[in-house]
Amino acid sequence: MLLLVFSVPAGAQQLIVRPDSAEAQALRRHPRLRQSTQEIEEQRALKRGSFSLRNPDFLFSAPTGAQWAPGVVQTIDFPTVYRQQARTARAGITLAERGLDVNRATVRRDVRLAYLALQVSEAQVRQLTFQDSLFRTLQIATDRLFKAGEVTSLQRISTEAEARQVANQLAQAVVDRRSAQRRLGLLLGQPDADLTTGTDLRGTGVELARTGMELLGGLPTRDSAALAGSPTLAYYAQSVDLSQSGISLVRARRTPAVTVGYQNQGFADSPYRYRLQLGVSVPIYFWTYRSQLQAATARTKAAQAQAQVQQLELGTQYQQALADTRKFAASLTYFEQTGLPQSTAIISQSQRLFRAGEISYLVLIQSLNQAFTIQNNYLATIRDYRQAITELNYLRGQ
């Protein structure tokens, strides 16, 4: 009764988290997305200033040599300059929005992997708890048989060693589970919460196999088509557009500018009270514009090369994730149809035959270790399969 009383508050504190709700919380709270939002606001503010006139020149001069007269001169660029500045600003906004898409996809992938890590650690704790209980029972039986003189001292020590080893693995698995809880909690903004997935990962094999088959069956044959929705490629493609817009802006600034102004005439009895000014600002320092154009062209070529590098790297990652998905799909089929049923049968039959005296202690230990190895490999296959599917979806922008 005391164990029951003390276990209820601990269980009540656990917070069951579902995959969809975990992604939604992370997308609302992650600072990476707040950073991207502020970058978009920055670019929008810059666009509002794309029609930026040069600062006016307020000056005093003495046109007649008798007294100082105030005046003002304003230089206005050619209209194509302001139009191109607006286009460049729009390209910057689009680039920031593409960056938000990349960060959103990255956060989703991180949450899915962290959620999977928690599921795996919980399944390992369940698995090792079962093993620990089984080997503890076996240790008690071996101690009783040793006292009765039916087993040797070596068998008793071996059983105790196996039991202690499993207990040590269980303690490590509990620590790993807490670490996985904190890692997921950091992404959700709840680092100290006692999170749990509420599901046994080993029971998701059938659904995982169906999901994997549907995914593999709907993938395009060409990498370029499969990666068409990649937010990373869209970001670097927009970076190229922004660089090309910079070239057009430099060319637009090579056009002449208009200078207008007015100034007091200087004498009160002058026929005209104000003297108007009109002129043209000629871009005669051609080497300045030429160097700016060369820099903008080099920047565009670098952006194009970077986009090609990303295309190559993502294509390589996609092929690796695709190969892993197919590989683990075949492995999962084996465990579901053959390996897992065999491990269950080995555990039950080896215990029954040992109690009946039909197999030796050594055969029992070997059989149990073989069965638990199969179950651990099955759990690792589910983990690797889900990781491969997560990577495929991330590369495809889903």
pLDDT tens column, 42-93: 989 988 888 888 888 888 877 666 677 788 888 888 888 888 988 999 999 9
Q: In whole angstroms, what is the distance from residue 253 CA to residue 241 CA?
A: 19
CA distance 240 to 246: 10
| Predicted confidence pLDDT, tens digits, the chain (398 residues) | 344 333 434 444 688 889 888 899 999 988 999 999 999 999 899 888 888 888 888 888 776 666 777 888 888 888 888 889 889 999 999 999 999 999 999 999 999 999 999 999 999 999 999 988 888 888 888 888 778 777 778 878 888 888 898 899 999 999 999 999 999 999 988 888 888 888 888 878 888 888 888 888 888 777 778 888 889 999 999 999 999 998 888 888 888 888 888 877 666 666 666 677 788 888 888 778 888 888 989 999 999 999 999 999 999 999 999 899 889 988 888 888 888 899 989 988 988 887 787 887 778 888 888 999 999 999 999 999 999 999 999 998 88
The residues, any chain, with a CB within 8 Å of residue 57's CB and separated by 6 or more, are 72, 73, 74, 75, 261
Give the domains, in start order, of the chain with CATH numbers: 25-395 (1.20.1600.10)
Other CB atoms within a 10 A radius of the CB of residue 292 amount to 17
Task: Say whether pTM exceeds 0.75.
Answer: yes
CA distance 85 to 88: 5
Give per-residue burial for 59-95: e unless 16+ CB within 10 Å, then b. eeeeeeeeeebebeeebebbeebbebbebbbbbbbbb
Q: Residue 131 — φ and ψ, nearest 5°?
A: -65, -40
Number of other residues whose CB lies within 10 A of the CB of residue 241: 17
Residues 117-173 pLDDT 10s: 999 999 999 999 998 888 888 888 888 877 877 777 887 888 888 889 889 999 999
Asked if 81 and 89 touch (Cβ cutoff 8 Å), the reply is no
